[in-house]
Each structure stands twice: as C-alpha cells, then as structure tokens.
Structure 1
C-alpha cells in the first residue's frame, strides 16, 4: 500500500521524476503474489492507482541502489537487518518515524483494518515527503 500512496503523492506534487519508489518483502511467504484485495479496494476507494504488482524479496542490491529502505514495523526492520547485514549507511528506517512516531503500522492482512493502515501510511508518507521537500504543502 505504501508504495502506491507515495507514488501518487509525489506525482500529485509534480515530483515523480525525482523518485524511484518500489516495494519488496523480507519474507518469502508471499513471493509472486499480487496485491491483497483489501489493499486494492482501499486504494481504489481513495482514488490511488495501483499497477500490476508481484511480491519480490529485498536484496543487498536494493540496499546498494536505493537511498532509503523504509519499513512499516519493527519486525520488518529486523528482517532487513537479518537479510542485508550492517546498515552502516543508515538507510533502514520506519515510516512513522518521519511523523515523529516510533510505533508500528499495523499489517492489515492480520488486523483487517485497511482504513487505519491507510491513515498511518498517509501520515508517514506526508511527513517523509516534507522532510525531503520542505516546500511541499499539506494538500
């Protein structure tokens, strides 16, 4: 969900060409699977397009390529450290930390609450975009 929320946000602010936004899993459980129907429905409800997407696993190449690797919760932070080793470049962060919150974003696959997850992701993505581009408005 966060991938598509952030892509939509930067596009609406005319910044899409300044970002490469992607997502990958730390576990192998969902590899090859598409977007969960609840996520797809929530994004559609919010007017956010979501392309065809298949789950892939994060790799060391991702760490070497991207400026940030942003997780939704501590379990995924731990998984990133397990898979990638030392985060000597301090690229691994938790999304809500950009909003000044250290709590996790609940996985709606378990909680069933896609609204709460969307709200948290929106809050984190907004704060992240403002950190990277302070001139961005709240709209």
Structure 2
C-alpha cells in the first residue's frame, strides 16, 4: 500500500484537486487497493471548509466527485503515517519540513517534480485561472503515478 498525502496552504484548492485527480487516475488504472490518497493544509485558515466551489466545478466537469471533503491541517505526528507528502509550491515544502522538524526519510516532494517542467502548481486562489491549475495537477499526478508504477 502506497500512502500519498497532497499538501497546500489551505486544502481547499490545489491539494484536494490533486487528491481527487490522483484517486481518479488510480481507479482508471485498476490500482485502487494499492493506494491510500488524501490531502491536508499547512495552515489553519480553512479547517472544516469545503473545497472551493470553482475547484468542485472543475472536478465535476471532468466527472470527478469530491463530495464530503473538508479542509484539515497536517499534523507533525503524521510523518510516520504516509510514504509521500506532495506539495504544490516551495512554501508548502518549507512549511512541511518545518512542521515535521526536517525530512529525514526524504518523503517531501513537489508535485511538478514528476513532470518534464518542475516548478510550482499554479495557485488559482490568486490568479482565478483554474484551467492552468487543472493542467498542472493532471500532469503532475500522471507523472507521479507513472513514477510509482515503474
């Protein structure tokens, strides 16, 4: 069982999008039983809030449900519970390492490191460009699944 936790600042846009895109890709590949996939925030700002409506609509346009998901914060004691912590940007990576007190097992990675164009996943909270975020997340999750399947 491979356990993946996607992480962003608030857990209402990018990380839940990645969570549900990855779950969809895994299901389509017939690998459901081989993965545990979830998402969390580094901040407390959105705890308990549902996924941001434009993100829900974007997922729904692609036939992906995110029903019941609410934002939660990453906890320091979760480091031992997950195989990979996948951040959306450099701030997420820094915050995770700070929260964990380091990354001795090298579990913290950037989503776009699994693509041919490493960098940061576009943040639609500030840009309003959910299509760019969708493309980044889709490409990153596809690359991550390919990497884990090799």
Tell me the residue number matched to 1:11: 27
Structure 1 segments unaligned to the other structure (5+ residues): 135-139
CA shift for structure 1 position 62: 2.1
TM-score normalized with structure 2 length:
0.86
RMSD between aligned residues = 0.9
Q: SS of the counterpart of 1:40?
A: helix
**Matched residues, number:** 134
**Given that residues 96 and 105 in structure 1 are in contact (C-alpha distance below 8 angstroms), is that contact kept between their aligned partners in structure 2?**
yes
How do 1:43-58 and structure 2 match up within 5 A? 43-58=59-74
Match of 1:40 among 52, 56, 65: 56
Structure 2 segments unaligned to the other structure (5+ residues): 1-16
Q: SS of the counterpart of 2:74?
A: coil
TM-score normalized with structure 1 length:
0.93
Q: Is it true that 1:98 corresponds to 2:111 in the alignment?
A: no
CA shift for structure 1 position 54: 1.1
- How many angstroms apart in 1 are the aligned matches of 2:70 and 2:140? 23
